[in-house]
Amino acid sequence: MVTERVTDGRRIAELLASELTARTDGQLSDLGVADADSDAEASAAGTFAYAVTVDGDEPIRLAEAFVHPDRLRLEFRAELETVSSAAAAADLRVRPKDGPLVLVFVSDGAGIKRALPVIAAAASALAPTEDGKP
């Protein structure tokens, strides 16, 4: 049994990136990480760590991950209603911003498992239908 809770934003970001890049089948297999900054240091305002992408002929930028000292912040710019609903259902803190933009906060390593369905829901909503349109 795990007795230590991971609350370091940089480590949480690493755990999420590992989950996204390790999948070879299933709903998350088309997700990836791009523009990763391996030297990103956590800051109070949040430091860009990487983009979450949906792979394809032309990868789609789904969200951006920012590291804080005590959490990870995901910024979504598409499928905002889907993201908000999925994050609330997953019991993650979610906040709409101007832009349009929705922020989802992951405060510990265990929150990664709750964040994955949020990311998957946003990716599914972006997926083209059989006629090639989202």
Provide the residue range defining the domain that includes 91: 9-126
Q: Within a domain: residue 28?
A: yes
Q: Which pLDDT value is given to residue 3? A: 61
Q: Within a domain: residue 131?
A: no
Q: Within a domain: residue 3?
A: no
Ordered per-residue pLDDT tens for the chain, 134 residues: 556 778 899 999 999 999 999 988 777 889 999 999 999 999 999 999 999 999 878 889 999 999 999 999 999 998 999 999 999 999 999 998 877 999 999 999 999 999 999 999 999 888 654 444 44
Q: Which pLDDT value is given to residue 58? A: 85
Q: Within a domain: residue 80?
A: yes
Q: Which pLDDT value is given to residue 16? A: 96
**Total number of domains constituting the chain:** 1
Q: Which pLDDT value is given to residue 2? A: 54
Q: Within a domain: residue 49?
A: yes
Q: Which pLDDT value is given to residue 130? A: 46
Q: Within a domain: residue 32?
A: yes
Q: Which pLDDT value is given to residue 132? A: 46
Q: Within a domain: residue 132?
A: no
SS3 assignment for the chain: CCCCCCCCHHHHHHHHHHHHHHCCCCCCCCEEEECCCCCCCCCCCCEEEEEEEECCCCCEEEEEEEEECCEEEEEECCCHHHHHHHHHHCCCEEEEECCCEEEEEECCCCHHHHHHHHHHHHHHHHCCCCCCCC
Q: Within a domain: residue 75?
A: yes
CATH number, residue 97: 3.90.1150.20
